[in-house]
Amino acid sequence: MNSTQKLWVGLAALLIASFAVLLWVGSEVHRQAPPMPEQVVSEDGTVIYTRQDIETGRQVWQSIGGQQLGSIWGHGGYVAPDWGADWLHREAEAILDLWAQREAGVASYKDLDAPTQAAYAQRVQMLMRPNGYDAETGTIRIDNDRATAMRMVAEHYQSLFSRDPATAELREAYAMRNDTVPDAEHRRMLTGFYWWAAWSSVTERPGSDISYTANWPADKLVGNTPPPSAFLWTVFSVLFLIAGIALLGWHYAVNHGDEMAPVLPKSDPLASIKVTPSMRATAKYFWVVIALFLVQILLGAITAHYQVEGQEAYGFALADVLPYSLTRTWHTQLAVLWIATAWLGMGLYIGPAISGHEPKFQRLGVNVLWACLLIIVVGSFTGQWFAVMQKLGLQHNFWFGHQGWEYVDLGRFWQWFLFIGLGLWLLLVGRALWPAIRHGGESRSIVSLLFLSTVAIGVFYAAGLMWGEHTHLSMVEYWRWWVVHLWVEGFFEVFAVAVIAFLFTRLGLLQVRTATVAVLFATVIFMAGGVLGTLHHLYFTGTPTAVIAIGASFSALEVVPLAYVGFEAYQSYKLGKATPWMQRYRWPIMFFIAVAFWNIVGAGLFGFLINPPLALYYMQGLNLTPTHGHTALFGVYGMLGIGLMLFCLRGMKPQVQWNEKLLKFSFWSLNIGLAGMALFTLLPLGILQLTAALKHGYWYARSAEFMQQPIVDLLVWMRVPSDTLFSVGAVALAWFVFRLWVAPRKEPAIDAVPVRS
């Protein structure tokens, strides 16, 4: 058995074992999730909420944007509060105030002396933390004082989600439109869902002294402090990281050799590839990529501005027609859509290029899939607008409106449509690749891995179809991260690595055998942490302690391969200088180098900053999360999508002269703009929030009191120069693509292209 075969066997064994553990964890999440009561009853027998109230309340929450307007259990938007954390603290303070008014004759418990306040705090913990759920009757019994406090908090929320002038200022601070939920009964039911999320966060699991959400969010008033497991597995995650980097360093030192081909081609081998009709038809995918990218940037600017003005844009009441939860929905959704479209277009282009085979009706399939993509984007976005504006109704929201889950917001009908579209993409790419796999050759393993990653991309989106309208929140989060983490961050990554390796081997710059081993090894080490590393998103979503243990251990391993991506950057740079004709691929390769840089900074540095359990306990849902999100999602996957797109465009327009100055300007504007966005706004704001969470509690770091400070407004305004530079860079890229088709200039002879120093 040679080294390639050993790596294939190792990869198969790794994936089987990893997914077996991941599925077992899913069964434990289902078994130990916070219970959904049939009714919530006070001591005097009053029914406060029924199961129907709580479940319908969740439907209402999803219809108004769900995780795009504030967050639940830390997952979601950042301008409005985390509703569970906010409710929990308000309820505890309401109980304390009731006691202070009745027993001490003062308006608030804060007017009491310090020893009395401490005694009251201990007392409120003894009231709120014990588990009052009766599994036989499905009833949660509540103390009368707590029931009174719950009604007071519910009244606040019912006012907030209406157009009541009393809470108008707070609505503006939270970037909520007036009459977010126009129906009074729906507002009442919404409070039931928020209460249940808060109850799960403070109520101790049976036989345990920590809550269903592992004592998250941090709030000393109710006794929510980090559990011992968070400390323990944070230490182990650091040890795993150090050990993993040491082992990878040893492997690299022992096995790394000269991967470049001994004899380099004198001319561009890809220039001789015949562009088939279906390959040419993929151009429209890249036009869509540019259009979606520009719209995403515009929506991002509007979303960021809402953090300053709340309901308006320079005096115009924008929230009345395009509320914050909708602009954020479209902004985050378009990020995935345009990047995925770039990769889908690349797959359709590279299939016939690899095999030299144009299957029958391939061009028709490419065009049909493109039309389906447009229908999905327009249809799902229209449904979401009707949902958020409360014009669709709860009956149709799940299927055609807004599901409320960040990154998978589109209605179930559109999810099925997208899944079928991915199946068509898999068929089109697979049948184009099949001759290359069947006839073998040195590149067979790379092509096979490319094909298998295509299969995984098509099939694993099905994880987004695994929950229903009333599936438990913990299970929805479990399956949702299969899509967001495994699908986007996992199998698309393998697809991209295989494509890049194949391109360099086809260019004659890399030896096929060494490139094959490198790609398979990279896939093994990535999947070693990538599959079970999914669980680091689920520490505090009503999951058992095993999730913290496994997630912390394996998410640390996700960072290991990123520690050596500098070698990838250097290798790409070296290949870009290998021959005079490689000047044609200068800017695609520069974008690949940017991918390596942002892998280290965005995915590695900022990712590991928030991944360990103890760190994430305080940071989840703060602006340190979008620091990682922006620099990893665009910095890695966006830059990679642009680089792959440019490779395809070079093949489609081999005789067209590229505007190197325009691409250079675009490249540096995008990278400097992204860096400024992170360093001048997201990172310092996240650090300020972290300081507030450590000192006062998570609820305060997400409160209007904190987020409306002048320093926060200043940091948001400091995004303007970086955002502007980033936007101009995107426009420059769009203009470059436009000029490839409109009034292009013919390129001089390929061999005459000089080498740049």
Per-residue tokens: 645:
């797109």
β-strand pairing of 71-72 with 139-142: unpaired
Q: How far apart are CA 456 and CA 229, in angstroms?
A: 34
Q: What pLDDT sits at residue 585? A: 84
Residue 1 has pLDDT above 80, yes or no: no
Tell me the pLDDT band of 554, cut-offs 50, 70 and 90: confident
Structure confidence at residue 256 (pLDDT): 62
Q: Check residue 646 and give its pLDDT.
A: 93
Q: Is residue 496 part of a domain?
A: no
- Domain-terminating residue out of 225, 259, 278: 225
The residue-averaged pLDDT of 108-121 equals 94
The pLDDT value given to residue 268: 75
Using CA atoms, how far apart are residues 524 and 12, in angstroms rounded to an integer? 9
When comparing pLDDT for 566 and 626, which is higher?
626
Whether 284 maps to a domain, the answer reads: no
For 125-128, which contacts have Cβ atoms below 8 Å and span 24 or more sequence positions? 125/222, 125/223, 127/95, 128/91, 128/92, 128/95, 128/202, 128/203, 128/222
- 698 or 453: which carries more pLDDT confidence? 698
End position of a domain, from candidates 189, 205, 225: 225
- Residue 707 inside a domain? The answer is yes
Rounded Cα gap, residues 510 and 579, in angstroms: 13
Handedness of CA 687, 691, 694, 697 (dihedral sign): negative
pLDDT band at 270 (very low <50, low <70, confident <90, very high): confident
The pLDDT of residue 121 is: 94
Instruction: Indicate the angle between helix axes 228-255 and 512-530, nearest 10 degrees.
Output: 170
**Following DSSP, what letter does each residue of 428-481 receive, concatenated?**
HHHHHHHHHHHT--TTHHHHHHHHHHHHHHHHHGGGGGS--TT--HHHHHHHHH
What is the pLDDT, as a whole number, of residue 179? 95
Higher pLDDT, 216 or 309: 216
Of 209-223, 246-260, 379-393, 476-490, the one with minimum mean pLDDT is 246-260
Least confident window among 114-123, 168-177, 244-253, 658-667: 244-253
| pLDDT score of 447 | 83
Evaluate whether residue 182 is within a structural domain.
Answer: yes
Would you tell me the crossing angle of helices 83-99 and 184-202 to the nearest 10 degrees? 80
Query: What pLDDT score was predicted for residue 311?
Result: 85
CA pair distance 158, 191, nearest whole angstrom: 7
- Asked if residue 54 belongs to a domain, the reply is yes
Q: Which of 225, 256, 286 is the last residue of a domain?
A: 225
Show the tokens assigned to 609.
Answer: 């900053």
**Averaged pLDDT, 703-711:** 94
Confidence category of residue 512, pLDDT binned at 50, 70, 90: confident
Question: What are the pLDDT digits (tens) for 209-221?
Answer: 999 999 999 999 9
Name which of 267-271, 288-292, 528-532, 713-717 the model is least confident about: 267-271
Task: Decide if 190 is inside a domain.
Answer: yes
CA quadruple 98, 100, 104, 106: dihedral positive or negative? negative
Q: How many CA atoms lie within 13 Å of 553's alpha carbon, on the beta-carbon side?
A: 11
What does pLDDT average to over the chain?
90
Q: Residue 565 pLDDT > 60, yes or no?
A: no
3 state SS of 603: helix
Number of domains in the chain: 2
pLDDT at 567 > cutoff 80: no
pLDDT tens digits for range 612-642: 999 999 999 999 999 999 998 899 889 989 9
* Assigned domain for 567 exists: no
pLDDT digits (tens, 9 = 90+) for 529-542: 888 989 999 999 99
What is the extent of the structural domain holding 177? Answer: 36-225
- Residue 195 pLDDT grade (very low, low, confident, very high; cuts 50, 70, 90): very high
Q: Give the tens place of pLDDT for each residue, 211-259.
A: 999 999 999 999 999 999 999 999 999 898 888 888 877 776 776 655 5
Residue 478's pLDDT is what?
Answer: 96
pLDDT digits (tens, 9 = 90+) for 580-594: 877 888 888 889 889
Q: How far apart are CA 130 and CA 202, in angstroms?
A: 9
Does residue 99 sit within a domain? yes
Give Cβ neighbours of residue 211 (< 8 Å, ≥ 6 apart). 129, 200, 201, 202, 203, 204, 205, 224
Torsion angle of C-alpha atoms 484, 489, 490, 495, degrees rounded to 10:
120
Give residue 593's pLDDT: 85
Q: What is the pLDDT of residue 575?
A: 67
